[in-house]
A and B are shown apart, each in its own frame.
Chain A
């Protein structure tokens, strides 16, 4: 039995009455395994966890924990196999910490026999989660992070082989997020199996042994974070272009969503947006205008460039890129989209061969896009092109943009997408610039 997975979800269909939330999900968690469950809101993460801890009975399929079908077990027996750290831990009550942790012993306590191992388990759980020092304090008086640890202590006191956690880090600050996940990982190293729904992809990738991507009621991928988290998959599942690059610090994949961060703000500041349309940025005319047979060359760095590449590629343009910093965000996104890219080591002068390669791309392109802040050498590279779109990053101030535009003044095709650029406006700008007749020498 020990070689069977600790948690074995077998092809389950489950939901709350109005159509299945989970449709044919299979997933297993081994002892010693820390599996992160990622996916967009409404993908069914909580539903899946509820079928594992026995709260929800699947309509079809079964969930085995430690060899037994969860729904055939009594609540008591199931709670000796799976402990749950719920999403909402802001229960407003005045129980002391220790009493709450003690509640974790409920499935082990006999009405007559009591709970001989309880004391030790409670003390261990309190020590382990560093909550022993406020054992007397009411849970209501603790901070969110401390309260989360108390609930984790409660789950530890349950002394179960399996642990499910629903967004254990959702309301915590960075320090507590890391501490919580480190603790869960340490527990799995001691033999527990853990499955945690985690919103933050970077955290999930950093701490989990494996990730399971859940979307539209189905597991899309399971495996080590670096295999599962690809820009393409993140884009498909979360419906936003994203760049995935290894973190220079931890080496774990980090995910940077590339959809315009100001998209939400544009709706919130309607007037501002209207004004900005005078600067030449078109209104958001829809989510996916097509660029058909255009060839566009993107030069730049950072999120602005990465976003632009992803947007233009998604709009159907033939995109080339360069010169972009080697292994940077833009380069990584360009790779994701099979974009022909010229890269150069950052902070070094661009050598002649590289520059020539970039010039070749530029010459072939219908439109050149300058994205983000560029060193003068690169601006010079693009200057001669007929049709230029400038995309500046959200944080760029007006002054600097003015300076920038001065430097390429005189170029007839210039078109500036400002900080409120959305994918749609960038595409629209490219479209307009491309459609504009090439100016005669004047």
Chain B
């Protein structure tokens, strides 16, 4: 399942470099339509990055206490590729406080596409232990990087990141409260984090909205204020955490080691749906870069577009943060790096950022778990991402958005 998301986006990896060269030739001849070249560039870059992503995924799956060879990993991974072929509703009981309620939850049945003969132990290690974690890394990375790209374009502010409207802080309050106060909430810590994230984003949006208009500057400042406030709440909750403080801190640092296929099943559809909506709005994002007034005179329903983009990027971020904790820097740095490489056109930037975000997070998580003592991946993303970003800043001229 793990690689299914991304190979779908990229298409045939073999043609990647060729298409790229074609696009370059078109550009050189000067008669190419920018529309064609933009989509051609999007496809070729995405294909190339998908190759990188697959390589990172496979390489990552070989790393661990038991070292596995690449062919074994590849076969085991392919055996794990499945398509959902049926849905049945199963009743699940959900408890909040003393009360319990029964809600129907969809249960998917999968059909597996491949069945290569692989050693049983190796297959178990890859499919049950490493791949869920890698798959979740891809999904979270894609969600954070795409949400970050949208937020930066939307705010026309290079410091914008996916949690700028308080999504991560809200998720942190939800999660830490659940851990520290031993609350019993539906869908556990993840449910609380997801709810906290969306409630916070919505509150920030309401605070910043007046007469149906949401100025991005107000939104940004409201987000900063709410984040600061929620930071205080989290600190207070940590003081009350007692025994569970370690679990809370781990959550706050961002980690993927608790990943299960179940997490992937929940997060993937949400992130994928959000990404599809964002991809539909890439042109609108480009026009919004001209400023809201210009965008309005070019036929963009500015406020409505902002609401949609804010909603989908907040939901994508919330879904990612809920399962993985606060993983910083992916959503900030990956879009910047890709902007330096592929340019500001969101038609190219958004898909490439998304794929690169997935690859980056998997690589960082591999580093996080490769050492003698496992690190929270949030530490690694920051430790790898920040110097690389600084390197780009000093070696290449960085234009503001």
Contact = CB atoms under 8 A, between A and B. Distances in A.
Contacts of A109: 283
A252 B287 CA distance: 39
B81 to A, nearest CB: 31
Contacts of A8: none
Contacts of B401: 93
B399 A92 contact: yes
B395 interface: no
B293 interface: yes
Interface string B1-38: 00000000000000000000000000100100111001
B391 to A, nearest CB: 20
Chain A binding surface, main DSSP class: mixed
Interface string A134-164: 0110001000000000000010001000000
Contact of A98 (B34, B287, B297): B34
Contacts of B287: 103, 106
B298 A54 contact: no
Interface in B381-401: 399-401
A102 B399 CA distance: 22
B297 A102 contact: no
B345 A99 contact: yes
A58 to B, nearest CB: 15
Nearest to A94: B344
A316 interface: no
Interface in B248-282: 280
Nearest to A119: B33
A285 interface: no
Contact of A86 (B280, B297, B302, B344): B297
Given A93-B289, A93-B344, A119-B33, A111 B280 contact: yes
Nearest to B298: A106
A96 interface: yes
Contacts of A103: 286-287, 290, 298
Given A102-B34, A109-B283, A91 B297 contact: no
B199 interface: no
Interface string B311-354: 00000000000000000000000000000000111000000000
B246 interface: no
Given A54-B296, A74-B301, A158-B298, A94 B34 contact: no
B289 A107 contact: no
A198 interface: no
Interface in A81-108: 82-84, 86, 91-96, 98-99, 102-104, 106-108
Contacts of B301: 74-76
B346 to A, nearest CB: 10
Contacts of B345: 95, 99
Contacts of B289: 91, 93, 95
Nearest to A17: B211
A79 interface: yes
A100 to B, nearest CB: 8
A75 B34 contact: no
Nearest to A82: B297
Interface string A35-68: 0000000000000001001110000000000000
Nearest to B36: A119
A78 B399 CA distance: 33
Contact of B299 (A94, A107, A140): A107
B299 A93 contact: no
B64 interface: no
Contacts of B106: none
A180 to B, nearest CB: 18
A368 to B, nearest CB: 57
Interface in A231-259: none
B283 A106 contact: yes
Contacts of A83: 297
B288 to A, nearest CB: 10
Contact of A102 (B30, B35, B296, B300): B35
A283 interface: no
A215 B289 CA distance: 33
A107 B298 CA distance: 6
B30 A106 contact: no
A79 B299 contact: yes
A65 to B, nearest CB: 12
Contact of B399 (A82, A93, A119): A93
A158 B295 CA distance: 13
A94 B27 contact: no
Nearest to A140: B399
Contacts of B280: 111
A76 B299 contact: yes
A399 B343 CA distance: 62
Contacts of B400: 92
Contacts of B298: 79, 103-104, 106-107, 154, 158
Given A99-B286, A136-B30, A75 B300 contact: yes
A103 B293 CA distance: 14
Nearest to A85: B297
B218 to A, nearest CB: 15
A94 B294 contact: no
B229 to A, nearest CB: 29
B280 to A, nearest CB: 6
Nearest to A112: B280
A82 B297 CA distance: 8
A80 B299 CA distance: 8
Contacts of A119: 33, 35
B291 interface: yes
A86 B286 contact: no
Contacts of A135: 30, 34
B290 A55 contact: no
Contacts of A104: 298
Contacts of A107: 298-299
B369 to A, nearest CB: 38
A99 B35 CA distance: 8
21 contacts: A74-B301, A75-B296, A75-B301, A75-B302, A84-B297, A86-B294, A86-B297, A93-B401, A94-B343, A94-B399, A96-B34, A98-B34, A99-B38, A102-B34, A103-B286, A103-B287, A103-B290, A106-B283, A111-B280, A119-B35, A136-B30
The 4 closest A-B pairs by CB, nearest first: A107-B299, A79-B299, A84-B297, A76-B299
Interface of A: 50, 53-55, 74-76, 78-80, 82-84, 86, 91-96, 98-99, 102-104, 106-109, 111, 118-119, 135-136, 140, 154, 158
Given A54-B297, A95-B289, A99-B34, 15 more contacts: A55-B293, A75-B299, A79-B298, A91-B289, A93-B289, A94-B343, A95-B344, A95-B345, A96-B34, A98-B34, A99-B38, A102-B34, A106-B284, A106-B300, A136-B30
Interface of B: 27, 30, 33-35, 38, 280, 283-284, 286-287, 289-291, 293-294, 296-302, 343-345, 399-401
